[in-house]
Amino acid sequence: DAGVIQSPRHEVTEMGQEVTLRCKPISGHDYLFWYRQTMMRGLELLIYFNNNVPIDDSGMPEDRFSAKMPNASFSTLKIQPSEPRDSAVYFCASSPDPGVWIGDEQFFGPGTRLTVL
Amino acid sequence: DQQVKQNSPSLSVQEGRISILNCDYTNSMFDYFLWYKKYPAEGPTFLISISSIKDKNEDGRFTVFLNKSAKHLSLHIVPSQPGDSAVYFCAPGRDGNNRKLIWGLGTSLAVNP
């Protein structure tokens, strides 16, 4: 299995531009998570989906951020318009249905490093 | 207000010795606790977990201890190896339908040969 795939790996853009980050979860996983990592705040959950349906988006910072999961094998995180404070590493993770043990691990992609100038 | 605190940003240990990484939390409702390891330019990878009904879980060189009354857990690595050099995150969560993990800021471990 290829693992969680994220693209692009690096993105440099100018303030005000639209940014789209992409994620392909591991096949068969029911859950997909979007995280943001910064030095000051560490890893923060932005939103997660179960069977393509958004379950918890309380971590989405503001209306400039939106996430979609049109099918089980693809998700996007969009920032429009982007601002310098959005500069961070964005991770996508997926996991199977946890079954009895809710503490099942999440499998992370390599991340997208976003720089907004 | 941080619910999960890893108060040591960094730790340096000699190869072969024990590494102890600590994590304190404030929410007594957490049901499980996960530890993740992260190398530079990679995503975090799962290391070990523990349920709130246990006080110890062991997997090879890695052991996690949970002290619920003190709201404290620790990860022990024995013996430490240079390949263990990474950032370690403590990430607890709650049972039920919500699969949200709350992440600490991490501890950077350096194991010196």
Q: What integer pLDDT is reported at residue B54 of this predicted model?
A: 94
Please state, in angstroms and rounded to a whole number, the distance separating the CA atoms of residues A41 and B3: 12
Yes or no, beta carbons of A31 and B99 under 8 Å apart: yes
What mean pLDDT do residues A49-66 have?
A: 93
pLDDT score at A36 = 96
The two three-digit tokens of residue A25, written as one number: 């979860």
Beta-carbon pairs below 8 A across chains A and B: 59
A39 contact partners, CB below 8 Å, separation of at least 6: none
Query: What pLDDT, on the 0 to 100 scale, is given for residue A48?
Result: 94
Confidence band, pLDDT 50/70/90 cuts, at residue B95: low
Check CB contact of A108 with chain B, cutoff 8 Å: yes
Q: Please report the residues numbered 54 through 73 in chain A whose beta carbons come closer than 8 angstroms to any beta carbon of chain B.
A: 55-56
Say how many CA atoms lie within 13 Å of A48 toward its Cβ: 20
- The C-alpha of A79 sits at a distance from chain B's nearest C-alpha, in angstroms, of 21
pLDDT at A105 over 60: yes
pLDDT-derived band of residue B98, with 50, 70 and 90 as boundaries?
confident
Closest of A73, A75, A35 to residue A54, by C-alpha: A75
Task: Tell if the CB–CB gap between A103 and B93 is shorter than 8 Å.
Answer: yes
Beta-carbon separation of A48 and B99 below 8 A:
yes
Note the pLDDT tens digit of each residue in A11-52: 999 999 999 999 999 999 999 999 999 988 889 999 999 999
B43–A98: do the CB atoms touch at under 8 Å? Answer: no
Give pLDDT, residue A1.
Answer: 63
Which one-letter amino acid corresponds to residue B73? L
- Single out the residue of B60, B74, B73 nearest to residue B21, CA to CA: B74
For residue A40, the model assigns a pLDDT of 85
Q: Which two tokens stand for residue B98?
A: 């919500």
DSSP alpha helix (H) spans, A3-117: none
> Can you spell out the DSSP letters for chain B?
--SEE---SEEEEETTS-EEEEEEE--TT--EEEEEEE-TTS--EEEEEEETT-SEEEETTEEEEEETTTTEEEEEESS--GGG-EEEEEEEE-SSS---B-----EEEEEE-
**Is the confidence at residue A102, as pLDDT, over 60?**
no
Q: Cα dihedral angle (A52, A55, A57, A63), rounded to 10 degrees?
A: 60
